[in-house]
Amino acid sequence: MLFTTIMGYSQIPYININPSFGLNNSNLESTISDQVKSSNGYKIGLAVEIGDKHFLEPGAYYVSYSSLQTVGTVTESLNFSTTQLQLYYGFKFMDLGLFKMKFHTGPTYEVVGKVETNNLNINKEDFKDGKWGGNVGLGAQVLFFTVFFDYNFGLSESWVDSSIKQDVFTLSVGLSIL
């Protein structure tokens, strides 16, 4: 009975709750605009890391993008937000107790939530209903603080009637709770 109890406890997965905030930069381009300057923004959300050396990391984030777009003689900021869902596989390739290095990769799915009113006549209907991305990231954890650098590459188009895909670099900081 004691053996069964011990084996049962060893099967409980290691779980971390990881709230984080990040700054992003992307190559948001469109066929609507004549010229696009760098697109910047932020993301905030929560992921759950399930496992120890190897882990699954589902998560949900609010992501905000802002870019300077030019159409004809009109130059204006295009600001919009999305909800991003992720499901990453990761592993710790260095674990020195208080210091850990991690790698994660996996798919993301993003849905545009709101597009701010602008003089470029770009609205939510100009974006696809949802878009897929692939993500690779490298990070460090010191005590319960985390820092991650991620690259998310577009797997599907961002705009309606366009073959343009969006790539995003993100630098995020967060906490590892539990």
Domain harbouring 96, CATH code: 2.40.160.20
Report pLDDT for 38: 64
2 is a domain residue: no
9 is a domain residue: no
pTM tops 0.75, yes or no: yes
Report pLDDT for 112: 95
6 is a domain residue: no
62 is a domain residue: yes
157 is a domain residue: yes
103 is a domain residue: yes
Q: Work out how many domains the chain is built from and give that number.
A: 1
Quote the CA–CA distance of 150 and 91 in Å, as a whole number. 15
Report pLDDT for 5: 47
Report pLDDT for 59: 98
Walk along the chain (178 residues) in steps of 10 and give the mean pLDDT of each run.
48 84 81 65 96 96 88 82 97 96 98 90 88 97 96 90 84 93
5 is a domain residue: no
State both tokens at 80. 């919009």
Containing domain of residue 18, as a range?
14-175
169 is a domain residue: yes
Query: Count of CB atoms within 10 A of residue 7's CB?
Result: 9
Quote the CA–CA distance of 27 and 129 in Å, as a whole number. 19
